[in-house]
Amino acid sequence: MTRIAVLSSEVADQIAAGEVVERPASAVKELVENALDAGASSIDIVVEDGGRTLIRVSDNGAGMDPEDARLALSRHATSKIRSITDLVGVGSFGFRGEALPAICSVSRLQLLTAAEDGTAVLVRAEGGHVVGEESAARQRGTTVTVGQLFYNTPARRKFLRSARAEWRAIAETLVTVALVRRDLHLTATHDGRKALALAPSRSLRERIAAIWGNEYAQRFVDVDAVLGPIRVRGLVERPADVGSASRRIALLINGRPVRDTGCVRAAESAYRTTLAPGLRPSLFLEVTLPGDAVDVNVHPAKAEVRFHDRWSVERAIEFAVRRALGSPSAAAAFGGIRRAIDWPLQSDVSIDRPPLPSDLAAGPLFQCVVPGTASATAPTTDDPAALPSLRQLRRTYIVYESDDGVILIDQHSAHERILYERFAREIESGSATSQRLLLPETVHLSADESEAMEAAADPLRRLGFEIEAFGGSSVIVHAVPYPHRRFDALRCLRETLASLAGDRVPTAHARHERLLATVACKAAIKAGDLLSEAEMTTLVRGLASTSLPAHDVHGRSTIVRLGWDELDRRFGRR
């Protein structure tokens, strides 16, 4: 008895449809991508009953002549590739030649298309078989109408979700397309109601504003960096705004929207020491790399890719996002300011040092209007009268005036960021300086604190602590670091060990970062400390020299910007 049989073409087509067309949103995605590959600049989508009853996609692309229209419904028929070598670096959205026949095999489909010469044809098909063809009238382009999706596969139709849920999936698909092709005019109607109407946009931020509103679009920081042959562009959410709205992610690889947890994880890792635990940011990233460095032919729906060198891609993403988060424009804004603060450029600074001499400052401290001039100028640091005045509010905040508004800096959070990065460099280089105590101090620890002390002994030594066991749970401290003149080393040590006691951080790297963050927090100046003008100036300059000046190590903002427009609005001047 023969147990192996060759499947009929009808069954094979329906199996292929199951790989490509999982739900109505899958059909919409494939049809819209075909329209884009045909050069369409305007696409209109009509959906009824969540796509189960009707999907119609109309475009103004190249269109087809009658012969091509018939071939387009055949499996493996494509205009994108001719040989296996064409699969390397393929740039079109659709290229397998499976989508249209797969959709046709599980629906009642009509293909109305007109070529360049104006010849139009209407092809009707059901269940994968052409049932009619006739001449028609249409302007250049194509309209594909999909009716009764999964009508001949009741088991598949049974597992579709509600019309509202299926429409949400379609809307998400269309939003992704709109983000990819910002030059596209895109409209969508569901059950007779206009749901989407997007005109071409000049930028990603403008497109996001058109979809979700201008206020949402202002939550993001621009990303643009090149690392080797890889370029990463886009927008990432400002840390101060993370967690206050729904999370959204769009990842494009060479213009193709894909799902890739490794790339998303790399972008999220750039937020280290800027977010509270459990918060995850929204990301809109475009990665461009050589075509032969990525394989797009690994998933039936082309939703996943394979990289020749994944580590390089993820490293480039993390580098780009980290650099964007380090820009002053990543600071929290109140009143819609998006322009960066004009920071000074100088070497490392700590709180106990005097203000930098003018020969170490490579740029202006602030942009301000100099008395006697008609416009904003960039004063040099050797002209103190030209510098804006720093003031301390409630012995907690440093405030100054800029061209864009009022800038407020949290003195504790700012110093915490400065010390964290300084301590990290000192541990790495082994260059920490310490001060020997005239009389060694004995510190008594609990059992958990003793365990934390043992686990952190080496990094504490690298930070400048010289600690000797003294029997039981006591230790003797012979030397301590000296980051600034207000530093209480023994208090910092006790509070650090108390904070780390019983901690169960999973990895050595995470424990290392946790220790640095804790020591920096305990060592930083506190709210309530009165600062001199020289100390405030040095603190602001020191913050500017860090890699992530807008955020402390716990995810809180160090800088808040209040715009003049917002102040004018509050006082009724606008």
φ and ψ of 466, to 5 deg: -115, 105
Name the residue with tokens 């091509």. 68
Give the separation between CA 26 and CA 33, rounded to whole angstroms: 11
Tell me 93's DSSP state: S
Give the separation between CA 552 and CA 520, rounded to whole angstroms: 10
- Structure confidence at residue 285 (pLDDT): 97
Domains in the chain, CATH or no CATH each: 9-198 (3.30.565.10), 204-325 (3.30.230.10), 332-414+529-570 (3.30.1540.20), 434-481+487-523 (3.30.1370.100)
Handedness of CA 574, 408, 237, 204 (dihedral sign): positive
Tell me 6's DSSP state: P
**DSSP-based three-state secondary structure for 279:** coil
Q: Which uninterrupted H or E stretch holds 393? A: strand 391-393
Residue among 422, 436, 429, 431 at smallest CA distance from 350: 422
Pairing between β-strand 249-253 and β-strand 283-288 as defined by DSSP bridges? parallel
- Structure confidence at residue 13 (pLDDT): 57
Q: What digits encode the pLDDT tens for the residues 197-220?
A: 999 999 999 999 999 999 899 889
Q: What one-character-per-residue DSSP string does 459-521 give?
A: HHHHHT-EEEE-STTEEEEEEEE-SSTT--HHHHHHHHHHHHTT---SSHHHHHHHHHHHHHH
φ and ψ of 548, to 5 deg: -135, 70
Give the separation between CA 87 and CA 292, rounded to whole angstroms: 9
- Structure confidence at residue 344 (pLDDT): 40
Residue among 45, 108, 119, 112 at smallest CA distance from 72: 112
Give the separation between CA 441 and CA 437, rounded to whole angstroms: 8
Q: What digits encode the pLDDT tens for the residues 180-201?
A: 999 999 999 999 999 999 999 9
Pairing between β-strand 108-114 and β-strand 54-59 as defined by DSSP bridges? unpaired
Pairing between β-strand 42-48 and β-strand 185-190 as defined by DSSP bridges? parallel
- E strands, 49-178, are 54-59, 108-114, 120-126, 129-136, 141-147
Give the separation between CA 89 and CA 256, rounded to whole angstroms: 12
- Token pair of 189 as six digits: 């109607």
Residue among 156, 122, 159 at smallest CA distance from 137: 122
Give the separation between CA 96 and CA 301, rounded to whole angstroms: 10
User: Contact, 558 vs 421, CB < 8 A?
Assistant: no
Handedness of CA 460, 463, 465, 467 (dihedral sign): positive
CB atoms within 10 A of CB 9: 12
Listed as ranges, residues in the chain with pLDDT below 50 are 18, 81-91, 94-97, 337, 343-386
- pTM for the complete prediction? 0.73
Give the separation between CA 335 and CA 406, rounded to whole angstroms: 10
List helix spans (H) across 21-153.
24-37, 66-71, 99-105
Beta-sheet strand order (sheet of 332-334): 332-334, 559-563, 405-410, 397-401, 391-393
Angle ∠(86,76,127) on CA atoms, nearest 5: 155
- Structure confidence at residue 396 (pLDDT): 95
Looking at this protein, which amino acid is placed at residue 140? R
Give the separation between CA 388 and CA 523, rounded to whole angstroms: 28
User: Contact, 223 vs 236, CB < 8 A?
Assistant: yes
- Structure confidence at residue 301 (pLDDT): 56
- The helices-and-strands tally (H runs, E runs) of the chain is 17, 25
- Structure confidence at residue 384 (pLDDT): 44
- Token pair of 291 as six digits: 């075509």
Beta-sheet strand order (sheet of 249-253): 220-227, 230-237, 283-288, 249-253, 256-257
User: Contact, 166 vs 174, CB < 8 A?
Assistant: no
Half-sphere exposure of 550 (CA within 13 A, CB side): 24
Pairing between β-strand 376-377 and β-strand 391-393 as defined by DSSP bridges? unpaired
User: Contact, 169 vs 88, CB < 8 A?
Assistant: no
User: Contact, 98 vs 75, CB < 8 A?
Assistant: yes
